[in-house]
Structure 1
């Protein structure tokens, strides 16, 4: 099964005592009811860098159990060293998850040779894994040029997808797909779906936004693929004010909106993220209302989309 459509990165709910595993179950169920085409965990939006090794493993197992094969899972396996990536990748493979998203560590350098060598070493120890090369922008990521990405993909056959997050992502997607080797199955858009229509027009196979408006993103994706471009654009326009704020407040916005929607009990974050003062919360809530989505737990039929 190819990766296509909406593949949200799941947030990690926290409580005073640590990870809120019951809330994590609600997060996964919310995603499935929204009709997503797959889920990603852990990723940057999961606050992965704040999770302990044990938390990370337990949460991924919970996600696999809740999904129960209904949609593909992409497991984040990024880490500073080959051995750590292999450890996280092995945990995922043991759960039946073969798609591993890896952001090369900046410590190895940002050139194609260094990235290809790193991923080759990982692939050699994880037979059967399908690697998604996460090309994140600086300062967080390697910020590889399309030509460098293509060099890596040609040298590492286990790289089956690229998640392109550099800005502007659109021209990079076009350049990669124009010269992609046969084993590259697709390029996935990033940027929180703020550029999703441009990415799709250029041939991106999927998008990896945050979770809070997954039902809107699914509806947009279905309209686009059915040729209903004006309807897809109308939903895109509805989403943009909220997504502009999401670029600033990140996980805190995601959790605030999911709290409004009845999925989370709080918006506690571990990652360094700007606080939400009353003005920011009012702005977020107004933008969410303009999306035309329901508060409270999402109904299976996604009522209210576009209303």
Structure 2
């Protein structure tokens, strides 16, 4: 398998006005990711409101993703679960749909204990032969918030773990430390560490050796352009895009998927912005501020100009 690198946005889950999963809208979002120049996609993740999806909904959407992508981009299936057997089942479901890897969150119930973490991931790998795992290290309470050295030790103990998505703060420092610790491992290190945290620290992560980023979808074209500029050693252009988009990402940090969906609506990519996830809703003042921040980012949004 070609090593995974670049921009892999996490796709949101669109809903109809009556709260059903909207497969037609989902296909439009997949097409946007492809045309934006993204290097791959991730589904489902926290930005997909995964905690609100039933097993049946989740399975249908993963299958729909694989069928609609039809090999145009690689995709990583989210397969986190407290039970390693359930996590493996979700990974196999993704692999059957064409996923090249499974992103699995370090389980908080295993705590900071490296041996318990290794046992968990080893059980997942044993139940899903051939699985490539991306260990997602997220802050508490959702994740285990492993130290960088613990992340590297868990990866060293489970050969199926080839990638890490690092989201604990300070993200940049942790990328440096994971890569340094992993280089001393038995196989010479990981295939890559990707940044998360909504791409709010993406330049620092890339400067420290991250091989990509996994933001939400609404700015996929801008993030793809930033990655291309960085890869071409055009640091000034990468910085320009980052500076223009960061204020909008800061607002998204508070309102999460609701902000993502509203930006997608204003870009003509989504009709209904309903969300199931818990969290604050945008009021009139927030919507006005979001509009101003979209205008700041607009020169970097090359597709579907925002209304």
Q: Following TM superposition, by how much is the alpha carbon of 1:112 offset from its aligned partner in structure 2, in angstroms?
A: 1.3
Alignment correspondent of 1:209: 215
| Residue among 283, 295, 303 paired with 1:298 | 303
Alignment correspondent of 1:38: 40
Residue by residue over 1:77-130, the C-alpha shift from the partner in whole angstroms, topping out at 9 and shown as x without a partner, is 001201110110111121222300000322233321111110001111111110
Q: Following TM superposition, by how much is the alpha carbon of 1:294 offset from its aligned partner in structure 2, in angstroms?
A: 8.3
Alignment correspondent of 2:76: 74
Residue by residue over 1:152-173, the C-alpha shift from the partner in whole angstroms, topping out at 9 and shown as x without a partner, is 0110000000100000011111
| Residue among 226, 241, 247 paired with 1:241 | 247
Cα distance change of structure 1 residues 200 and 78 upon mapping to structure 2, 3 Å threshold: same
TM-score by length of 2: 0.94
Q: Distance in 1 between matches of 2:181 and 2:142?
A: 26
Alignment correspondent of 1:157: 159
Q: Distance in 2 between matches of 1:145 and 1:17?
A: 39
SS at match of 2:9: coil
Q: Which runs of 5+ in 2 are unaligned?
A: none
Q: Distance in 2 between matches of 1:58 and 1:220?
A: 33
Q: Following TM superposition, by how much is the alpha carbon of 1:37 offset from its aligned partner in structure 2, in angstroms?
A: 0.2
Q: Following TM superposition, by how much is the alpha carbon of 1:178 offset from its aligned partner in structure 2, in angstroms?
A: 1.4
Q: Distance in 2 between matches of 1:221 and 1:112?
A: 33
Q: Distance in 1 between matches of 2:291 and 2:65?
A: 28
Alignment correspondent of 2:277: 271
Q: Following TM superposition, by how much is the alpha carbon of 1:209 offset from its aligned partner in structure 2, in angstroms?
A: 0.3
What does residue range 88-167 of structure 1 map to in structure 2 within 5 Å?
Answer: 88-167=90-169
Q: Which runs of 5+ in 1 are unaligned?
A: none
Q: Distance in 2 between matches of 1:249 and 1:39?
A: 22
TM-score by length of 1: 0.94
Tell me if the contact between 2:106 and 2:138 (Cα under 8 Å) persists in the aligned partners: no
SS at match of 1:287: helix
Alignment correspondent of 1:188: 194
Q: Distance in 2 between matches of 1:220 and 1:183?
A: 26
Let me know the Cα RMSD of the aligned residues.
1.6
